[in-house]
Amino acid sequence: MYGKNYLLDCEILHEIRGRIRIKSRALKYLGIHKEEITSQLMQVHYIENVSISNITGTVLIYFDASSLTGENIVSLLQNTLNTYLVDIYKNEKKDTSNKYLIERKLQEESPQEIIKSIGAAVILLLLPNPKRKLTGIRRLFNYKTLSTISLALPVLKNGIYSLIRNKRPNTDTLSSTAIVSSIMLGSERTALTIMVLERFAELLTVYTMKRTRGVIKDMLSVGENYVWKQSENDTEIARKVPIEEIDKGDLILVQTGEKISVDGIIEKGEAIIDQSAITGEYMPVTKRTGEEVFAGTLIKNGNITVKAEKVGDDRTASRIIRLVEDAAFNKADIQSYADTFSAQLIPLNFLLAGIVYVSTRNLQKALSMLVIDYSCGIRLSTATAFSASINTAAKNGILIKGSNYLEELSKSDTVIFDKTGTITEGRPKIQTLKSFGKNMRNERMLALAAAAEETSSHPLATAILNEIKNRGIAIPKHQECIIKVARGIETVVNKSIIRVGSQKYMEENNIDSEKASDIVKGMQNRGEIVIYVAKNAELIGVIGVSDPPRENIKKAINRLRNHGIDDIVLLTGDLRQQAETIASRMSMDRYESELLPEDKAKDILKFRSIGSKVIMIGDGINDAPALSYANVGIALGSTRTDVAMEAADITITSDDPLLIPGVVGLAKNTVKIIKQNFAMAIGINSFALVLGATGLLPAIYSSILHNSITILVVGNSLRLLKYDINR
C-alpha cells in the first residue's frame, strides 16, 4: 500500500496474478486526457487491457505476470500521470470549488452601494412604527415592512437560490430566515439591525477587495490613460482619446517620453525604446517600421505610429486582475475549508432553533438560534484576510494571483532557485584580465578582444564591450567579424588575425594555451567563464567573466531558513563548476547543473511526488515549465513578459530578493490570523448560542453580539493591510 496524502499516490486495492486494481485520487480528474492515458498504458508491451473509472478513481489493468509485477505497474502509472499533473491539479481544484456554497460575489458590489443600503436601513430604524396597528396579513403591507423586505431582497434571493441549486442552505439562507421570522413576529427593528451589522461587515470586506484591485491596476499599469489616435488616411490631426476607446486595428501616435499603451506593429517611424519592463533587456533597442512593440515599453527617442494588435482585456494587466479575482480556481484550501465548515454548521442553527422552539414554545428564543451563526464571521474574515494580504503584497511590488498561493507558501518546506537572472544578476561582468607577452598590456588585449566581439550579441561579448566602455578604451578598426558557432569569433586588425573564444577553439587553430593553465584553474575555481584571446598563432591573454550574485541574495536565503524552509536547491543550465561555486557560496543544500527547461520541470515533479511543498523561483521565461509545475512559482525581477506573468503564480517586479522571504512571512502571518478568527468566531458565538437558548439573550441582542463578533474578526483580518513585508 502507498501513501494517500498526495495527488499522484497509488493504493493497490486488489491483486491476483496478471490482474491488478489501483486507486489514485488523480484518476478522478483526468478530464479529456482519460483516453490518451489509457492509450499510453496500452502501448506498453506487457499490458493487455486497461480500464479507468473516473467515478471511483480506480484503474483495472490486465498484464503479463511473467514480465511485470504490481510494483512495476504502479511506477508506470505514476510516471504516466506525472505528464498530466498540472491539468489533473486544475481539474481537482475546479471540481472541488463546485461543491462550495453559492455565496453572493461581494467583489461585484461597490462600497457606495453597500453604504447606501446601510444608510437606508438606519433611516428605517430611526423612523417611528406606523400608528395604526394592523393585524394578520395586512400588517405586512405597511411602508416599514415593505421597505425592509426591499432592502433584504439580494439576501433573500441568494438564500433561496442556494436551496434550489445546491439543495443546501448558505449564510444568506440563515439570514433570510432570521429576517423573515423577525418580520412575521412584528419586529422589523430586529430584521433591520441584522441587516445593518451584516452589511457593515461586508462593507469592510468589499472595501478591502476594491483597494486590492486598485493597487494591482496601478502596479500593472502598462501605458497612458489617454492616447493620440491617428486617422488611417493621415489627413486629419490626431485626436486625444481615452485608451478604452481604442480598438484592434486603430493607429496610435506615440512620441518621445511616452509609454506605448497597446501591443502592435510599427506602421511608420523609428524610435529607441526601453523594453526593460517587458523583456528584461536593460539596453534600449531601435525599432523600425514593421517591427513589433509592446504595451508598457517607453520611447526614449523618436516618434512612431503603431497599429494596435492587442487592446483592453487582451493586455497583461486585465488578464492578471481577472486571475486574482477568480474564486473558482484560486481559492485557498483553508478558505474552502472555512466555506465548507461554516456550511456544515448552518443546518445546526436550524436544528437548534427547532429544538428550542419545541422545548419552550417561544419563537423569540428560537429566533436567537437563527441570528447567531458561525459562517458569516468565518467566511468574511477569511476572504478579507486574503484580500488584505494580496493588497499589501501588491503595494510592495508583488503580484499574487490567488489566495491559494498564499496558503501554499505558508506550508512550503523546499525552495528551488534558478541561477542566471535569479541568484545572479543575469548580466555577466569581467572579473579577471591577464595578458601575456612583453609588449601586451591588459588594455590592449581587451581592445583586440572587443574588436572581434563588437557585432556579437552574446552575453559574454556584452560583458567585454561594457568593460571597454567603462574604461573609455577605443575599439581598433577591424575587418568583418566571423562567428565560429559554439567555439568563438575572429576578425582581422592591422593584418593580424584576432581570435576570441574557448580553449577548444584555440586548440583547433594550433594555439598553445599551456602558459595560462595555472591562471585558468584559479579562475574556474572562482566560477568564472574563461575566454581565450589570441593574435595570429600566439595566446595574448585570458578574460574571466562571471555573473555576480544579486545583492542581498544570501541574506534572503538565510531568512527563508528562519521561516522554516529546510531544503534549498539550485537547478541551472550552467556548467557544473559554475553551479557548484554558486551553491557553495550561497550555502545551498544541493545543486543540479546543465539542465534543459524540461529537465527542471521533471525535477520539480520528483520533489512533489515525495510530498515536498515546492517553491520555484526563476526569471519567468525559460523557467516557465518549472514555474508551472511547482506548488508556487515565483518570477523574480523586472522581466514581466506575458510568459513570466502567466507561468508564475507570484511575480516580484523589483530586483530585491529580500521580498521572497518577505512574502513567505506574509503568507504565514495570514494563515495565523485566519486561525485566530476561527477560534474567536466559534468560541464567542457558541457562548452566545447558549445564552440565546436559555432566554438570557433576546434575539435583537443576539444579533448585535453575533454581528459585532463578525466585525471584530473582519477587523482583525484588516491588520494585514499594515503588515511590514520587509521585517
Q: Which residues are catalytic?
A: 418
**Does the CA dihedral 336-338-340-341 come out positive or negative?**
positive
Instruction: Return the residue matching grid coordinates 505558508.
Output: 410
SS3 202: helix
Cell numbers that stand for 131 in this block:
400608528
CA dist 85 and 33 (Å) reads 11
Q: Given phi > 0 = left and psi -120 to 50 = alpha, else beta, which region is 410?
A: alpha
3-state secondary structure string across 29-59: HCHHHHHHHHHHHHCCCCEEEEEEECCCCEE
What is the dihedral angle through the alpha carbons of 518, 520, 522, 524, rounded to the nearest 10 degrees?
Answer: -150
- Concatenated DSSP letters of 609-662: HTT--EEEEE-SSTTHHHHHHSSEEEEESS---HHHHHH-SEEE-SS-TTHHHH
- Concatenated DSSP letters of 277-309: TTT---S-EEE-TT-EE-TT-EEEEEEEEEEEE
Strand partners, 723: none
Cell numbers that stand for 126 in this block:
430611526
Strand partners, 353: none
CA dist 107 and 626 (Å) reads 32
Contacts of 626 (CB under 8 A, 6+ apart): 416, 418, 571, 597, 600, 601, 603, 604, 616, 618, 633
Type of residue numbered 197: L
- For residue 671, CA distances in Å to 320, 341, 383, 384, 668 come to 24, 16, 12, 12, 5
CA dist 436 and 442 (Å) reads 9
Nearest Cα to Cα of residue 348 among 96, 682, 106: 682
Cell numbers that stand for 698 in this block:
433576546
Type of residue numbered 535: K
SS3 556: helix
Cβ atoms 569, 614 nearer than 8 A: no
Cell numbers that stand for 176 in this block:
433570510
SS3 265: strand
Strand partners, 491: 498
